[in-house]
């Protein structure tokens, strides 16, 4: 037997594609009510009120979708994010702060190439330009990643979106030269915990056979949505 038909909030309609689940314009009555309650909970907490009390609905929905509209879990995520941002607030963040990684970027590690068919920022990442062993301090990777994604999120927001699309071009990639499990795990964790629901689509091209080994190590640490 078919399940119950969900009732959508006034002015909202069922999403045409599953990727639009939980977005503005496609909220069910329950989701809209939980979003309202989530904002009220944020306003009642001094820590989150000062940081997210006036945040837009589309921004708050990133945390709600990441925790499937569970208010308690979304609130925990927000509090941990606020605490984390306070910890990194004093870090020097400019491209000159990451000299080794900046060389990789200049050699094509990551670049914006335009927009996808829907108008979102389109990013190309070339892991073959990354040599983790040449960067002795893992924090250089971390700080660069935070700096870059923060800048990217601001650009994405200026386009009217909360997400971007990424293409991973694996041409020339080597498991022994261009891969570090600790770095990959740490950056994936930061993306999931502090930039939730920012990656709309991810495509892998020129995929070498060895990448399946790397993916088998990384995938257990990834959430279904990030």
pLDDT digit string, tens, across residues 109-142: 999 999 999 999 999 999 999 999 999 899 999 9
User: 66-70, 96-100, 196-200: which has the minimum mean pLDDT?
Assistant: 96-100
Residue 131: half-sphere exposure toward Cβ, Cα within 13 Å: 8
Q: Summarize pLDDT for 208-225 with one digit per residue, the tens.
A: 999 999 999 888 878 766
The pLDDT, as a whole number, for residue 53 is 73
Mean pLDDT, the chain, whole residue set:
92
Domain 18-88 fold: Helicase, Ruva Protein; domain 3 (1.10.8)
């491209």: which residue's tokens?
95
pLDDT in tens, 60-75: 999 999 999 999 999 9
User: Does the pLDDT at position 5 exceed 70?
Assistant: no
Mean pLDDT calculated for residue range 166-194? 95
Q: What's the pLDDT score for residue 1? A: 39
Place of tokens 């945040």: 55
Evaluate whether 75 touches 64 at the Cβ level (below 8 Å): no
Q: Phi/psi class of residue 86: alpha, beta or left (left: φ > 0; alpha: ψ in -120 to 50)?
A: alpha
> In the predicted model, is pLDDT for residue 226 greater than 70?
no
- The CATH homologous superfamily of the domain defined by 95-221: CRAL-TRIO lipid binding domain (3.40.525.10)
Q: Where are the domains of the chain?
A: 18-88, 95-221
CA–CA gap between residue 184 and residue 214 (Å, rounded): 10
Predicted pLDDT of residue 89? 82
């Amino acid at each position: 037997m078919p399940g119950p038909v969900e009732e959508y909030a006034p002015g909202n309609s069922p999403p045409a594609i599953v990727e639009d689940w939980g977005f503005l314009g496609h909220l069910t009555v329950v989701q809209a009510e939980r979003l309202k309650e989530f904002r009220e909970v944020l306003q009642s907490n001094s820590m989150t009120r000062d940081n997210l009390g006036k945040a837009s609905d589309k921004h708050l929905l990133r945390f709600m979708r990441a925790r499937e509209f569970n208010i308690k879990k979304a609130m925990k995520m927000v509090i941990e994010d606020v605490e984390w941002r306070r910890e990194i607030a004093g870090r020097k963040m400019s491209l000159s702060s990451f000299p080794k990684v900046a060389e990789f970027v200049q050699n094509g590690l990551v670049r914006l190439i335009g927009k996808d068919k829907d108008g979102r920022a389109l990013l190309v990442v070339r892991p073959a330009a990354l040599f983790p062993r040449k960067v002795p301090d893992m924090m250089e990777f971390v700080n660069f990643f935070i700096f870059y994604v923060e800048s990217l999120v601001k650009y994405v927001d200026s386009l009217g979106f909360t997400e971007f699309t990424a293409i991973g071009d694996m041409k020339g990639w080597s498991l022994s030269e261009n891969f570090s499990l600790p770095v990959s795990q740490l950056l994936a964790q930061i993306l999931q915990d502090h930039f939730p629901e920012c990656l709309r689509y991810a495509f892998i091209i020129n995929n070498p056979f060895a990448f399946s080994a790397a993916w088998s190590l990384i995938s257990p640490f990834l959430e279904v949505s990030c």
